[in-house]
Chains A and B, each alone.
Chain A
Amino acid sequence: QVTLRESGPALVKPTQTLTLTCSFSGFSLSASDMCVSWIRQPPGKALEWLALIGKNDDGYYSTSLRARLAISKDTSKNQVVLTMTNMDPVDTATYYCARIRGGSSSDGAFDIWGQGTMITVSS
């Protein structure tokens, strides 16, 4: 069974750096074409794609947020970490991680999602 679970601080202050962890099971980032993406959703608003990481250590980022994001993985722990710098109240959102198949076998589908973690940015 494939599962993903997001974790992070519920509240961060403006200008701080947010660190989110996606813990997953049922697949491997090192032994397959599977990738993990981060996607966020401000309250009452649309989904926004943020970043992706796969088998290699390369991260891929939303052009609008590239300067503030960093994605990494710990293969031994089956975890993907997203950091976002200089947090602002407009970054208040539910942050999801989701699995997607990459490489030549990609089907372009975020097929399994975590339940999301709500992050509030406020002083």
Chain B
Amino acid sequence: QSALTQPASVSGSPGQSITISCTGTSSDVGSYNFVSWYQQHPGKAPKLMIYEITKRPSGVSNRFSGSKSGNTASLTISGLQAEDEADYYCCSYLGSSTWVFGGGTKLTVL
């Protein structure tokens, strides 16, 4: 199973909005609602930011939102803040209790 495809990097200025895409296939992203997003700061463990495509765990800012269209899921961060600078990973269910992550996207806040 190949990793989901994410842009290597995205950037934005404070206050702006950015969107990170996550492209899979009809066998993963396109087939399931179990798409999640994780934020990872350097040297830290990943943190769940979005699950089931659009849901936010308690404590995660509503500036983070998720969506899906066909085989592509997206994470949007509005009102960019310096603390949002991190790596972001998408993850999709593959069926049969197996999972696949994306290649990761480095977000730079200019």
Question: Number of residues in A with C-beta < 8 Å to the partner?
Answer: 28
- Please measure, in the bound complex, the distance between the C-alpha atom of A108 and the C-alpha atom of B55, giving whole angstroms: 11
List, in ascending order, chain B residues with CB within 8 A of A109's CB.
36, 48, 51-52, 57
**Which residues of B46-68 have CB atoms within 8 Å of chain A's CB atoms?**
46-48, 51-52, 55, 57
- Decide: A49 near B100, CB < 8 A? Known: A107-B55, A108-B51, A108-B93: yes
A24 interface residue (CB < 8 Å to B): no
B52 touches A107 (CB 8 A): yes
B36 to chain A, nearest CB (A): 5
List, in ascending order, chain B residues with CB within 8 A of A116's CB.
45
Per CB-CB distance, the 10 closest pairs between chain A and chain B, nearest first, are A108-B34, A109-B51, A60-B97, A113-B45, A49-B99, A47-B101, A46-B104, A46-B103, A111-B48, A109-B36
What residues make up the interface of B, taking CB atoms closer than 8 Å to A?
1, 3, 32-36, 38, 45-48, 51-52, 55, 57, 89, 91, 93, 96-104
